[in-house]
Every structure is written in C-alpha cells, then in structure tokens.
Chains A and B, each alone.
Chain A
Amino acid sequence: MIFLIEIIKIIFVLGMILTLVPILVYCERKISAGIQDRIGPNRVGPFGLLQPFVDAIKLIFKEDIIPREADRFLYTCAPLLAFIPAALAFAVIPFGNKMQIGDFMINLQLTNINIGVMFILAVLGLGVYGIAFGGWASRNKYSLLGGLRASAQMIAYEITLGLSMIAIIMMAGSVSMQEIVMNQAHGIFGWNMFRQPLAFLLFFVAALAENNRLPFDLAEAEAELVGGYHTEYSSMKFALFFMGEYVAMITLSAIIVTLFLGGWYFPGIVDVNDSSIFMGIITMFVFGIKMAFVLFTYIWIRWTLPRFKWTQLMNLGWKIFIPLSLLNIFITATVCILKQ
C-alpha cells in the first residue's frame, strides 16, 4: 500500500511538471507580448490557450534531421540529458505539509532524503552535460561555442549557487529540505528571503545563470551564435531541449521557494501541526502560488534585461559573486556563533 502511494505521488508530481510546461510557455508568450505592447497568442482556443499544444503537434510532425558529420549517439542522448536532471531535482522538494488519509501519513514530498540540498546541487550540475554534449555532437562551430560557454558559465555560477545555499544550511542546521522549510515557519520575517537578503539575491541571479535564461543565455545567444547548442536540432529533439529549459525553470523556482520563501508555509493560513487533507491541499496551493510568483519574476526579468557580454558575465561570476557569497557565509557563521 505504501508502495502504491509512492507510485501515485511520483505520477502526480511528474504529471504536474509536464502540465506546467505548456502553461508556462503560454504565460511567457502572453507576458512578453504585454511588455512589448502586443496582445500575444489569441487565435487557437479561448484566449489562445491551446497555442502550446498546437506548437507541440507541429514539432512532432517536423522532420527529424541528424547532421551527417554528427556524433549520432551523443546527439540523441543530449536532449535527454538536458531534460532528465531538471525533472529529477524535483524529487526532494517538499510541495506541501503532511497529509493524513485513513491510517496513512503522507509526506507531500517524493523522498525526504537527509542530503536534500546536496542532491539538488549534484543533479542540477548534471544539466549542463546535455547542453555541452549537444553542442559538441552537432559538429557545428556555433553549437560547440554555445556548449563551451554553457559549461564555463555553469562552473562559475554553480559555486555561487552552492555557497549561498551554505548560509541557509547553517541557519537551519540541516540539509533536509523539510527541515529548512520548518526552520522558516515563524511569521513572514522568518523566511530566509528576509533573514538572508544577500544570499537570496546571489542565489536568484545564479539560478538565472544556471538555467541559461536571459540575461545569461550566452549559450544560445541568437545574435552571435545562431541559437548556440540547439542550432542543429529539429523536431522532438529540439522540443525536448526546450522542455528541459522550462522544467529547469520550474524546478529552480521550486527550489527558490523552498529555500528562501518559506516553502509551503504562509503565516495565518497554514498551521504547521495540522495534518488534515484540507490543510494538505492548502499547503500545496500556497506552494503553487509562491512558485507562480517566482516564475513571473523570471519571465519579467527575461523580457527586461539585455544579454550580458561574455567578459561581463565572467567578471560578475568570479570577481563579485564568489567573494560576496564567501562574505555572506562569514557573516552568517559569526552571527550563528554569537547567538549560541
């Protein structure tokens, strides 16, 4: 029976992620249209809601081209490698509190492993292999440059990502995601966003870079690299890269919500000790709304800022972000020791 519950949970989470992707694509197109004083998709279905599905059908029926000189094995693997790690990181994210159904106490989290944060860092780091392999296997100098840029960028920003997480771990005294949420469940100013504003800023920007989103999308830079790592990709392989990017966006926003915005907790609405079904659903809603907010900020930033130059990106990563995150760790450690 417990096994069955776990299976249902996995299907639910995976289904939610894959359902969110087309909704996110639609929202991104609508918001970008609004920012540019346009209307956006409004022809297919009511308010153009069916546009992403039509796009998906179009992509399925496109010809799947593999370049003659390409490394066929890696070329086929790369989109999968870009997609799977992004979805995998969701396994340790608590999307709600406990829920009591009959005799069973259900944790609204796929696995509460005790190395939660470490697992996320490890899995997210894998995401770059898809991009680097895709760029290399295409046998196209632009794709290769895109792949190279992605890996260099990932190395620079992964460090900031990890170091700004350490401050959170020190405050919670645990690397388990559920514990980190519990640690923030003391009113709205208990959220790490307010207790660790510098870490929040660093993490948010590093997450943008990790995701290859604008203003850090140097790996695909349409202007100079004609699409970068996915130049040669077509049909469903391209769609998988595209989906991978959006799934990574969803996962990273979930991580930001969990680490910095108090996860499923909201003061006045959520009671931490209540484990009824109703409260479980409420916690999931709170989590979803917070995620939507972060995702909106993501899209908002993308359509506001221009792309960084390569040198600016590296300067920002190595010379500013890493010293700042080290400083943040130092301050946090000092305060933690003084409090004891």
Chain B
Amino acid sequence: MYTETIKSKNKWWVDLYLPAVIKGLGITLKHLLFKKRFTEQYPEVRHIPRPGYRGEHKLNKDELGRPKCVACFMCSTACPAECITIVAKDSPWPDRDKVPAKFEIDMLKCIYCGMCEEACPCDAIALTPQFTLVAISRKDKIYDMEKLLSNADKYK
C-alpha cells in the first residue's frame, strides 16, 4: 500500500490539539451560558418577516377600489415558472384600454422569485409577507382574482 507521510509545519503544541480543544470548549460554554437564544416560539409568537420578504401575491387596488392591473401581460412574460394566466377584456373605464377578465396564479408552480413584481409597470402585482402557504386541495392553491384582491386588503 502506498502511504505518504506529511511532515507537519506547525509548532509542537499545535499538533497536540489540546490548546485548540480547550479554546473550542470555551467558545461553546460561552454560547451555552451567555448568548441570546434565537428560537421563536412559533404558534404563540408569530414570526415577522423582514421588509422585502417574498410571500403570497396580492393584486393592488387604486383609490377608487378598482384593480390596478391593466392586463399588459408583463408579469406572465417575466414569470420563469409560467404560473400566471391572464385573459384580457375591454376596459369599462376611459383611463385604460384593457382590464383582466381572468387573473390566476398557480401557487404550486410559483417559485416566489418576485420577478412579476419587478416587471409590473402599474405596481399592481406585489408579494406580501404571508408565509404560511397551506391548503387542503390542489384547487385551493390556484388563486383567482378575487383571492388576490382580498390579499391586497389584508396586506397593505
């Protein structure tokens, strides 16, 4: 069997391991006795995400309560997971050409990258700090316009 002996360049007491071991024990003891515990007691204490956290989507409304979305398809084009489905229709209001007839996000495909929010020219679609993403069926995870607009009321 081929073996190779590597000559250590360390001082002899470094190769004893002992100083390093004692130093390490000191560090862990410091953590045990003095350091702040980072655990959050989850169901009782809700975690508040930092600003910029990318959770569930919302669809913003303007001052008149209308959806800001103008069905420009920018978000669905930007989406790398292709989870946004938009169907446009003619606008009933004079200030825009189109409004969405259908606006669906498949949350099972979504990767929460936030590209839609960046692509949106009207600040209509945005991500909320909502991070509990549970549902009882797959159908519940396909969010329609109603659900997205109600998210806008919940997360200003």
A39 to B35, CA, bound (A): 11
**3 closest Cβ pairs, A-B complex:** A34-B32, A39-B39, A304-B28
Q: Which residues of A contact B37 (CB under 8 A)?
A: 34, 37-39
Answer whether residue B121 sits at the interface, using C-beta atoms and an 8 A cutoff. Answer: no
> Quick one: given A304-B24, A305-B21, are A37 and B29 in contact (CB under 8 Å)?
no
Q: Are A35 and B28 neighbours in the complex by a CB distance under 8 Å? A: yes
Answer whether residue A301 sits at the interface, using C-beta atoms and an 8 A cutoff. Answer: yes
Q: In this complex, which of A34, A300, A304 has the most chain B Cβ atoms within 10 angstroms of its Cβ?
A: A304
Answer whether residue B89 sits at the interface, using C-beta atoms and an 8 A cutoff. Answer: no
A171 to B21, CA, bound (A): 29
Q: Within residues 251 to 303 of chain A, which ones have a CB less than 8 A from any CB in chain B?
A: 300-301, 303
Q: Which residues of B contact A31 (CB under 8 A)?
A: 32
Of chain B, the residue at the smallest CB distance from A39 is B39
A305 to B18, CA, bound (A): 11
Answer whether residue A36 sits at the interface, using C-beta atoms and an 8 A cutoff. Answer: yes
Q: Are B21 and A37 neighbours in the complex by a CB distance under 8 Å? A: no
> Quick one: given A31-B32, A300-B29, are A38 and B24 in contact (CB under 8 Å)?
no
Q: Is the interface of B mostly helix, strand, loop or mixed?
A: helix
A332 to B121, CA, bound (A): 85
Q: Which residues of B contact A300 (CB under 8 A)?
A: 25, 28-29, 32
Q: Is the interface of A mostly helix, strand, loop or mixed?
A: loop
Of chain B, the residue at the smallest CB distance from A306 is B24
Q: Which residues of B contact A38 (CB under 8 A)?
A: 37-39
Answer whether residue B36 sits at the interface, using C-beta atoms and an 8 A cutoff. Answer: yes
Answer whether residue B31 sits at the interface, using C-beta atoms and an 8 A cutoff. Answer: yes
Q: Interface size for chain B: under 10, 10 to 19, 20 to 34, or 35 or more residues?
A: 10 to 19
A65 to B41, CA, bound (A): 36
* Residues 130-142 of chain A, each 1 if its beta carbon lies under 8 Å from chain B, else 0: 0000000000000
A142 to B38, CA, bound (A): 36
Of chain A, the residue at the smallest CB distance from B17 is A316
* Residues 3-34 of chain B, each 1 if its beta carbon lies under 8 Å from chain A, else 0: 00000000000000000010011011101110
Min CB gap A84→B, angstroms: 33
Q: Interface size for chain A: under 10, 10 to 19, 20 to 34, or 35 or more residues?
A: 10 to 19
Q: Which residues of B contact A301 (CB under 8 A)?
A: 25
Q: Are A37 and B35 neighbours in the complex by a CB distance under 8 Å? A: yes
A31 to B32, CA, bound (A): 7
Min CB gap B25→A, angstroms: 5
A39 to B27, CA, bound (A): 18
Q: Are A37 and B36 neighbours in the complex by a CB distance under 8 Å? A: yes
A199 to B39, CA, bound (A): 41
Min CB gap B7→A, angstroms: 14
Q: Are A36 and B29 neighbours in the complex by a CB distance under 8 Å? A: no
Q: Which residues of A contact B29 (CB under 8 A)?
A: 300
Q: In this complex, which of B21, B28, B36, B41 has the most chain A Cβ atoms within 10 angstroms of its Cβ?
A: B28
Q: Within residues 27 to 62 of chain B, which ones have a CB less than 8 A from any CB in chain A?
A: 27-29, 31-33, 35-39, 41
Of chain A, the residue at the smallest CB distance from B39 is A39
A303 to B24, CA, bound (A): 10
New A-B contacts (5) at CB < 8 Å, excluding given A37-B35, A38-B39: A31-B32, A36-B31, A37-B31, A37-B38, A39-B39
Q: Which residues of A contact B31 (CB under 8 A)?
A: 34-37
Instruction: Show 9 A/B contacts (Cβ-Cβ < 8 Å), sorted by A.
Output: A31-B32, A38-B37, A38-B38, A38-B39, A39-B41, A300-B28, A300-B29, A304-B21, A304-B25
* Residues 3-37 of chain A, each 1 if its beta carbon lies under 8 Å from chain B, else 0: 00000000000000000000000000001001111
* Residues 174-207 of chain A, each 1 if its beta carbon lies under 8 Å from chain B, else 0: 0000000000000000000000000000000000
Min CB gap B20→A, angstroms: 9
A305 to B31, CA, bound (A): 14
Q: In this complex, which of A34, A38, A300 has the most chain B Cβ atoms within 10 angstroms of its Cβ?
A: A34
Min CB gap A265→B, angstroms: 27
Q: Within residues 286 to 340 of chain A, which ones have a CB less than 8 A from any CB in chain B?
A: 300-301, 303-305
Q: Which residues of A contact B35 (CB under 8 A)?
A: 37
* Residues 67-102 of chain A, each 1 if its beta carbon lies under 8 Å from chain B, else 0: 000000000000000000000000000000000000
A37 to B39, CA, bound (A): 8
Min CB gap B139→A, angstroms: 34
